Chain A
Amino acid sequence: MSDSVDVKFTDRSNVKSKLRKLDFTDKNTFDLTISAFELLSEMKKSKLSVIPSIKSNKSIELYDHQIFAAMKVKNELGGSAILADEVGLGKTMEAGIILKEFLISGLAKNILILAPPSLVYQWQDELESKFSLHFTQKDDSDYRDPASHDLLIFSHSSAVYPTAANFLKKKNWDMIIVDEAHSMKNSSTMKHKLLKELTRRFTLLLTATPIQNNLGELYNMVELIKPGTLGTFSEFKTRYADDKQMRTLNPFFKDELQKKLSKIIIRTTRQQVKKYIKFTDRVAFTRILKPTDDERKLYDTITDKVREHYENGFEVLYLMIIQRLISSSTESTKQALFKMKKSELLSSEEYDELMEIASRITMDTKTTELKNTIREQNESKFLIFTEWKATQEYLKRVLSDEGYSVTLFHGELNLSQKAESIERFRNDAQIMISTSAGGEGQNFQFCSNVVNYDLPWNPMKVEQRVGRVHRIGQKNDVKIYNYAYEQTIDAYILELLYTKIKLFTMSLGHLDLLFEDVTDEKTGAHFFKEYISTKDQNELENKFSTVGKNWNNRKKELVSAVEEFNQEVFDNFSLSTIEGNDV
């Protein structure tokens, strides 16, 4: 142990040299320096005033590394930092502590949060439920314009629209928080440029992967926090990069770079906190079921109709919705039939004939399987997701009839109804059936079974569902149940893509890398077009298999490269002095 103590005597301010030159200064300057060091010492020990009130909220699990990060940002980093904890350690919580502390201490009065569109609700709900702070976002009824609200959440993509951007630029923000800030890594993008132009005192950038492709991205992020810290871009490149592409760190200057970064970046790893946080696994169960004859006929007939209209050039997005409805349940299929009749995709006779088949199906095969699964897990809680209200209502009826206590959760509930439903699920109900929209932003760590009754075609949406239960505070391994009928589009997506590249068990950070630019429409349309334009089953399997292989290769290249790169730069990045400190 004694060998590992590094005792240094340093003279960074050249005091000895000044003594030699008899370069004396006035007493006031001397007093300023001594006071500054004394103040630094005091501040290092200074606790956050907001912690007791957060701790009093019993539904919040607060961890030492989160408090420490917040203390460091306030007491040592001047209120601006890159919060770069590894995935799942609660960066949002850290940002929440900081912003609440700054609000109550008077350091900040207005705060702008820029988040990916899919996380806007999550931010809003978490700040409301955990910190009792109401942030406005543009879908709220009281929303006016971006400059009219002191506490505002905006999506990255909406913020860059000229009208919104101009409003945002008008205001002097006290603090700007950017979630998934790696999307600002490229200095030539509109997002990065906008952030540079926004006036603010404090900036928090949240990302698990500050570097994705090259060291230049790290430089760009640091420039958003404290410009000039790493010199000019050319100086930075010459000194710290070992190759032209800036994909390798010059090992001779690694320590020096880490020292500079330590004044800007806070990074805690899972390894560092596993002493007090139990990380659980995800286990996926995919059931490809054989449908009944009626179910098969209904699905195939409607699919053929959809294919026919697709070939005739009918609107793709509309047809996609039909295909997604018939993949969910018979009840949602009835809704699809109604839509098709209304838009003249079906004749009255066809409609009647298909409705008759649908009405013969009293219980979906998927539902029988779901009931078995719930029964097998005894009295465990289940969070069942569906994209469609019709399926939600149907499942509620069936499961309630079975004697299960069920609560619903969807986007049409107001905040108090949502809270009521969550409380019911937490305390009484065994099952919650939620739409994806309703599930955003809510945390259900007390439940460890997630059912994808129907499958969102965008992997990020699946992650958002699973992420509701598989997060910090979850005590058990999370079981993910997925159902689809054989030879349906969902079966191909499930089997050939999700299961093959283990998407269900990938972390959000990795998914985010893989599907950074993937939107619902993009993925949905891609899968849908492949499926609907191919009649031959073998050809279809090959097509999906190729997509799967491409994703797998991308996963291997991108994810491993990014992980290695971040590890190389942040290896032994001794920033997180967590244990033993009195927080």
Chain B
Amino acid sequence: MSELNTVVTELVLGYFSKINASVHENNGLYDVAVPDNFKKTLGDDVLKITFNPNLSKSTDYELISPGSSILSAILNECIAFGPTVIGRPTSHNLEYPVIRFYFYVVFESVKSKTKMLSVNIDTKNIQKINFDESEINFQTNHTNVRLNSDLIDYCYIESTDYLEKSMKSEINNFKNEILALKNEELQNINLEYQKKYEIIENKHTDLRSKNNSDASLQKLIDENESIKLEEAFVRKNLDHKYLISIDFALVASTVFV
């Protein structure tokens, strides 16, 4: 089983466990009874699935792997949770709570890429902090946690400031890559329209030498105007096409106490 398949299997079975679906496995074939309130999301009340492509080919069990509509639905559900958890380092005590913000960063333009990043912010000094997190005990009890709204906002702003600074060079590299692609296309456009205007110019010279009618001249003027309009449209679209958008999406957080 590939690494990707393992991640898919764990995610899907983890999701079924979260929604209290009843899962019965028999040699890689899974029968899943979906709770009523998740039927719409998953498309059916009983799912017959497998994570093994060979089993899928020889049975009527639906393969769950990238491309599967069930996997797509589960992914959409999971990324919308926006969870926050509490963790306590077991080897030492933290003097003040630390908030870890998780960001899913999406670089988008004519090419795109994504990455997951996280930043820990110390709530006392409102600055990035590293600490030994080898042993963390996660819990749901939060009776001792004190976090006010302003503090959360300050910490969040600090995390985004840090990210923007630390990723400056990566953002610049991405910008330069896109700029190079844009310049290449711009040169092609310049050449293309230069040729088109040359053709018009030649036709014009030809018309004048033959003393052709006003109608022919008007036709040429119209053609020229239409090329100008087309060129303006192409150039306007070009700017839009190469816009870069970078989204630092906050997707989860952990409070270390």
Contact = CB atoms under 8 A, between A and B. Distances in A.
B142 A6 contact: no
A201 B248 CA distance: 33
Contacts of A11: 82, 249-250
Contacts of A32: 11, 14-15, 18, 78, 81
Interface stretch (A41-49, A420-428, A521-529): A41-49
A132 B17 CA distance: 42
Interface stretch (B22-30, B177-185, B197-205, B211-219): B177-185
Contact of A33 (B57, B101, B234, B252): B252
A572 interface: yes
Interface in A532-583: 572, 574, 577-581
B254 interface: yes
Interface in A1-59: 1-2, 4-16, 18-20, 22-44, 46
Interface residues of A, number: 67
A78 interface: yes
A7 B164 contact: yes
Given A29-B83, A34-B252, A105-B63, A10 B247 contact: yes
Given A18-B82, A20-B147, A36-B79, A74 B66 contact: yes
Query: What class of interface size applies to chain B in its complex with A?
Result: 35 or more
- Identify the interface centre among A39, A109, A577: most chain B CB within 10 Å of its CB: A39
Given A41-B115, A74-B67, A13 B80 contact: yes
A77 interface: yes
- Identify the interface centre among A74, A106, A579: most chain B CB within 10 Å of its CB: A106
A121 interface: no
A154 interface: no
B11 A36 contact: yes
Contact of A8 (B7, B65, B246): B246
A14 B99 CA distance: 15
Interface string B213-257: 000000000000000000000100101111111111111111100
B97 to A, nearest CB: 11
A12 B18 contact: no
B85 to A, nearest CB: 5
A462 interface: no
Interface in B89-138: 99, 101-102, 104, 108-116, 138
A197 B18 CA distance: 32
Contacts of B240: 572, 574
A51 to B, nearest CB: 14
Contacts of A201: 62, 69
A39 B247 CA distance: 18
7 contacts: A27-B85, A33-B79, A74-B66, A74-B67, A275-B188, A578-B110, A580-B110
Question: What 6 pairs across the A-B complex have the smallest Cβ distances?
Answer: A13-B82, A78-B72, A36-B78, A106-B53, A580-B111, A74-B67
Interface of A: 1-2, 4-16, 18-20, 22-44, 46, 73-75, 77-80, 101-102, 105-107, 109, 201-202, 271-272, 275, 572, 574, 577-581
